Amino acid sequence: TFTITAYAAYEVYEAGDTTIDLGGGLRWFDTDTSITLTGPSPVTRSLADDWIDPVLMARVQTRFADRWVGTLIADYGGIESNRETSQLIATVGYELTDRWILRGGYRYFDVNNRIDGVDYGFKQSGPVFGATFNF
């Protein structure tokens, strides 16, 4: 499973060290999944699909120390009744320079789709690590 999400956002609120952005974008999703049920007569089922959905997002950022920033991002994507994705990401970042931020946090990702007449869905959650380059 592979996803890429791209956003364009607009700052709608700023107060002190806190900002709120609203935006949208696209999420590309590609999966090639196989499941095998073992036993006397093993059965394997494979599903493969890729799609692009529009995504709406909101982001809250706040600076809580000289070089430390917290970020919360929530998004929702999907325009068809049988397909939707959503995620929630919370990170803490350390500003190395004016342009580079190292981040670590937690991500929850939920996917639901219908592929070839079969309901396909999963939830993933766990730690995330990354870097941001501001240009």
Judge whether 22 and 14 are in contact, CB under 8 Å.
no
Tokens of 72: 């919360």
> What is the SS3 string spanning the chain?
CEEEEEEEEEEEEEECCEEEEEEEEEEEEEEEEEEEECCCCCEEEEEEEEEEEEEEEEEEEEECCCCEEEEEEEEEECCCCCCEEEEEEEEEEEECCCCEEEEEEEEEEEEEEEECCEEEEEEEEEEEEEEEECC
In this prediction, residue 65 carries a pLDDT of 93
Tokens of 96: 């190395």
Report the pLDDT averaged over residues 22-45. 91
In this prediction, residue 100 carries a pLDDT of 96
In this prediction, residue 125 carries a pLDDT of 97
pLDDT tens for each residue of 59-85: 999 999 999 999 999 999 987 777 899
Within 10 angstroms of residue 31's Cβ, the number of other Cβ atoms is 17
pLDDT tens for each residue of 90-119: 999 999 999 999 999 999 999 988 888 888
Mean pLDDT of the chain: 92
CA atoms lying within 13 Å on the CB side of residue 25? 18
In this prediction, residue 46 carries a pLDDT of 87
